[in-house]
Amino acid sequence: MTNPLFDGLLATGLARPQSRFAILPDGREYTYGDVGTASARFANALVALGVEPGDRVAVQVDKSIDALMLYLGTVRAGGVFLPLNTAYTPSEIAYFLNDAKPRIFVCDPARREGLAAIAAEAGSGIETLGVRAAGGDNTGSLNDRAEAASGDFATVARQPDDLAAILYTSGTTGRSKGAMLTQDNLLSNAEVLRDFWRFTADDVLLHVLPIFHTHGLFVASNTAMIAGAAMIFLPKFDVEQVFKYLPQATAMMGVPTFYTRLLADGRLDRERTAHMRLFTSGSAPLLAETHRAFEDRTGQRILERYGMTETNMSTSNPYEGERRAGTVGFPLPGVSLRIVDADSTKPLPDGEIGVIEVKGPNVFCGYWQMPEKTAAEFRADGYFITGDLGLIDPQGYVTIVGRGKDLIISGGFNIYPKEVELALDELPGVVESAVVGVPHPDFGEGVVGVVVAERPLDEAELTGALQERLARFKQPKRIVFVDELPRNTMGKVQKNVLRDRFADILSGTD
The binding site for ligand AMP (CB under 6 A) comprises 169-170, 214, 282-285, 304, 306, 308-309, 328, 386, 388, 400, 403, 490
Q: How far apart are CA 223 and CA 207, in angstroms?
A: 11
Query: Is the CB of 59 or the CB of 400 nearer to ligand AMP?
Result: 400
Least Å distance between CB 460 and ligand AMP?
31
Residue 254 near residue 279 (C-beta atoms within 8 A): yes
Least Å distance between CB 406 and ligand AMP?
9
Query: Is the CB of 44 or the CB of 85 nearer to ligand AMP?
Result: 85
Residue 409 near residue 444 (C-beta atoms within 8 A): yes
Query: Is the CB of 43 or the CB of 313 nearer to ligand AMP?
Result: 313
Query: Is the CB of 58 or the CB of 104 nearer to ligand AMP?
Result: 58
Residue 124 near residue 103 (C-beta atoms within 8 A): yes
Question: Euclidean distance between the first and final Cα of the chain, in Å?
Answer: 66
Query: Is the CB of 155 or the CB of 315 nearer to ligand AMP?
Result: 315
What is the full DSSP assignment across 172-195? SSSS--EEEEEHHHHHHHHHHHHH
Query: Is the CB of 66 or the CB of 304 nearer to ligand AMP?
Result: 304
Least Å distance between CB 170 and ligand AMP?
6
Least Å distance between CB 284 and ligand AMP?
6
**273, containing H or E segment:** helix 270-273
Query: Is the CB of 79 or the CB of 491 nearer to ligand AMP?
Result: 491
Q: How far apart are CA 458 and CA 394, in angstroms?
A: 39
Least Å distance between CB 277 and ligand AMP?
20
Least Å distance between CB 3 and ligand AMP?
25
* ∠ CA 425-430-431, rounded to 5°: 85
Least Å distance between CB 218 and ligand AMP?
10
Tell me, rounded to whole angstroms, the distance of Cα 374 from its chain centroid: 21
Other C-beta atoms within 10 Å of 484: how many?
8
Query: Is the CB of 169 or the CB of 494 nearer to ligand AMP?
Result: 169
Query: Is the CB of 109 or the CB of 254 nearer to ligand AMP?
Result: 254
Residue 458 near residue 488 (C-beta atoms within 8 A): no
Among 409, 353, 346, 359, CA closest to 385: 359
Least Å distance between CB 400 and ligand AMP?
4
What separation in angstroms does the CA of 9 have from each of 157, 186, 209, 254, 443? 15, 10, 19, 21, 53
Exposure b/e, 12-25, CB count within 10 A at least 16 = b: bbbeeeebbbbbbe
Q: How far apart are CA 380 and CA 487, in angstroms?
A: 35
Least Å distance between CB 298 and ligand AMP?
19
Question: Which 8-state DSSP code applies to residue 373?
Answer: H
